[in-house]
A = this chain, B = another copy of it.
């Protein structure tokens, strides 16, 4: 069977991923090392993610703010463990002016060297914590809960669009509480917000759990993540939430007077989700014809393609399409107006249809002169593109019937994409491995689509954990997280043979 992309997932998953990004006009290389250009369809998906996640962040009682892009070097020096974790990969501003280099080019002006270099934010705990130390004086000032939508720079050596870029976009939530208990609880609330957002909005089935000690955010007491399974069986960490205890508060002097008049350190938390989510969306929902965008995050849910032929009939076709779009946008799906577009570009209708298939618009409607005459529409569901015999499963139905069904159809497509991905996730977590030899055998046998294993362990720490990490690394594996809802333990640790204390997920990862 022929497909719209010239590479399949099975043949070369990495090449397929790049092909989807290019063919769906999601993003492209910018010419600036490690930075991409997010094109309208890719950025439109990000705007939908922003809108839906932002609503949840506000509902959780967070206020949006904006903090500086630049962080003075000295801010990092205060938090030793934190900087250790990030020091390898930061962009540093050292000059504030350019001058001619005398050879017709430009160079940083040696006379304009900054006294203190500025780091382009790799995350904002240090600069936001400094603000918290000004804002928090008394227990009455707590909690402080703020969020920012911002660009972030981490100087990655090997970059990959959406998954790992030098500059990326994200939101970062930061909060300070009076007690460690409350801060831990709120860390988990943020995790649950991410889990339900990923499942409900991005149709991305995820496992929420705690990261092992060696995968903690630099300076954190505990890090939690949501992990999604890609179609190559690898894991993608799609959002993290960190309990920072008093580590950052101590370095940044976030203190408050409690109701007994005593000075205490606040407990802080932070959590972030980024444009990486779009990489996950591609690798979970894409197929050999391109992307399939879950309707809730699709910039356009219904795209209407008029079949124009530069004849006198064109005007009537366009009228028909525009009035149809008007009817659709007056409807609601998921509590929002339906997003419908008439694609009037000066391109052949079949090219437009395949363009929207590759972009993954959930519903594609084609309108030709005969449809106008008969009052019909030709409807293509992106999630079920082909019927029997490999032909496009275009449905022909009266316009009124389509309009009556479309909101339900949009909700059905969202559920279908989620159901498909959820079934794949559940079918590919193996719980039968009970010793390290079993683990080795499992992953050597299932090289193509390994999936994950859930095993029991004794949660070793320090050097013992380092040993475990090394053994896994030799198999190209990592511990993903300790699922929140895992079953109780009933066996021994696959690494140490000691009695197990919890279950962990192990897999290959992005």
Contacts and interface: CB of A to CB of B under 8 A. Distances in A.
Total identical chains: 2
A120 B35 CA distance: 13
B88 A97 contact: yes
Contact of A127 (B30, B89, B119): B30
A230 B65 CA distance: 26
Contacts of A316: none
Contacts of A87: 97-99, 106
A122 to B, nearest CB: 10
B66 A169 contact: yes
A139 to B, nearest CB: 10
A73 interface: yes
Interface in A16-54: 28, 30-32, 35-40, 43-44, 46-47
Contact of A47 (B64, B71, B146): B64
A40 B83 contact: no
Contact of A155 (B35, B83, B97): B97
A73 B31 CA distance: 12
A153 B40 contact: no
Contacts of A97: 87-90, 92, 155
A68 B35 contact: yes
Given A40-B146, A120-B93, A346-B140, A98 B83 contact: yes
A118 interface: yes
A117 B108 contact: yes
A322 to B, nearest CB: 15
Interface string A254-266: 0000000000000
B37 A65 contact: yes
Interface residues on A, range: 35 or more
Nearest to A154: B96
A72 interface: yes
Given A30-B127, A40-B65, A73 B98 contact: yes
A158 to B, nearest CB: 14
Interface string A75-97: 01100000100011111111111
Contacts of A31: 72, 127, 130
Contacts of A140: 346-347
A30 B40 CA distance: 33
B94 A90 contact: no
Contacts of A40: 63-65, 146
A177 to B, nearest CB: 15
A389 interface: no
A367 to B, nearest CB: 22
Nearest to A157: B96
Interface of A: 28, 30-32, 35-40, 43-44, 46-47, 63-74, 76-77, 83, 87-99, 104-108, 117-120, 127, 130-131, 134, 140, 146, 150-151, 153, 155, 166-167, 169, 346-347
13 contacts: A30-B67, A35-B68, A37-B67, A40-B63, A40-B64, A40-B65, A73-B105, A83-B98, A87-B106, A88-B97, A89-B97, A95-B117, A108-B117
In the A-B complex, the 8 residue pairs with the smallest Cβ-Cβ separation, listed nearest first, are: A40-B63, A35-B68, A38-B66, A96-B155, A92-B95, A32-B68, A92-B108, A94-B94
